[in-house]
Each structure stands twice: as C-alpha cells, then as structure tokens.
Amino acid sequence: MAMLSGLPATVVQAATVTNEPIDPSAVQLEPQQQNGVTYLSGGIGLDESRAILQTKGYNLHMTFSVGSGNQYIPDVDVAIQNTQGSSVLTLSKVGPIVYVQLPPGKYLVVTARSGQEKRSDVEVKSGAVRDLQFHWSDSY
C-alpha cells in the first residue's frame, strides 16, 4: 500500500456524497476564520470526506489530488487574492478539501505543493457554488 503524508493512500482517496451514516468520532472539521473569511479544511478519511462534502454555506469548493488515481492530498498551500492583488486568505498545508465563504467578486487562487504552483481565476457569484479541482500529476 502506497504511503502519502504518513497515511495509507486508500485512506485519502476521494469520497462521494452518500446517505450512509457518518461516524462523528472520525470527523475533525472546525470552521476557521482569517481576515473575516470563514473556511473549512479537511477530508482525511472517508467519514470526514463525506461530512465536508455535505456541508452547506460555502461558495468556493477546492479539492486537491495527485497521481493517476486522483488520491486526495492534505499538504497544499493556498493563497486567494482579490482583483486589487490584496490577500484575502492564506493557508498552509491544508486539504485535501477546502471550502471557503467569499463575498461575491473575482479572485485569483494560487495553490502550491512541493514547489509546483497551480493558478485559477474564479468569479464567485451570490447564491452560486464554484468548484475548483487542483491536480498534480506526480506523487513526489
């Protein structure tokens, strides 16, 4: 079994939303705030992945994965900037799923893992959810 950040790769594979019961003892999700922006980071293990995928109230959903098996990764740095280039949110070693509640507007999302950067321009609209998936091809 391959190891990823000290966890077996099978533990960090993508989950899907189901009606199966979630073991609350396996869920460690706590809403956090930075600069008045609320966010959630987590998704390690099947129960926590399913719990975060069912969470409402966040309008930017980001998922981080690696390799041909699209295995979730929990070690991504994230920076979100507004159109003026000001930092809105800066997170270190987060994931594999990050949900953010942003005011409507246009943003630049910059993610980095092991020195490799991925960027995405995103427009967040009132009442809509934007999904961003960041994928790195190597499991270095």
Q: Give 78-94 pLDDT, tens digit per residue.
A: 999 999 999 999 999 99
Q: How many domains does the chain have?
A: 1
The string of pLDDT tens digits covering residues 25-58 is 545 678 899 999 999 998 877 777 777 788 899 9
Query: Is 42 inside any structural domain?
Result: yes
Q: What is the pTM of this model?
A: 0.80
Mean per-residue pLDDT, 9-18: 42
Instruction: Give the residue, 62 or 54, on which the prediction is more confident.
Output: 62
Query: Is 120 inside any structural domain?
Result: no
Query: Is 39 inside any structural domain?
Result: yes
Query: Is 82 inside any structural domain?
Result: no
Long-range contacts of 85-92 (CB under 8 A, 24+ apart): 87/35, 88/35, 88/37, 89/34, 89/35, 89/37, 89/39, 90/34, 91/34, 91/39, 91/41
Q: Show the domain range for 17.
A: 3-75+92-103+126-133
Query: Is 11 inside any structural domain?
Result: yes
pLDDT recorded at residue 21: 60
pLDDT of 140 higher than 70: no
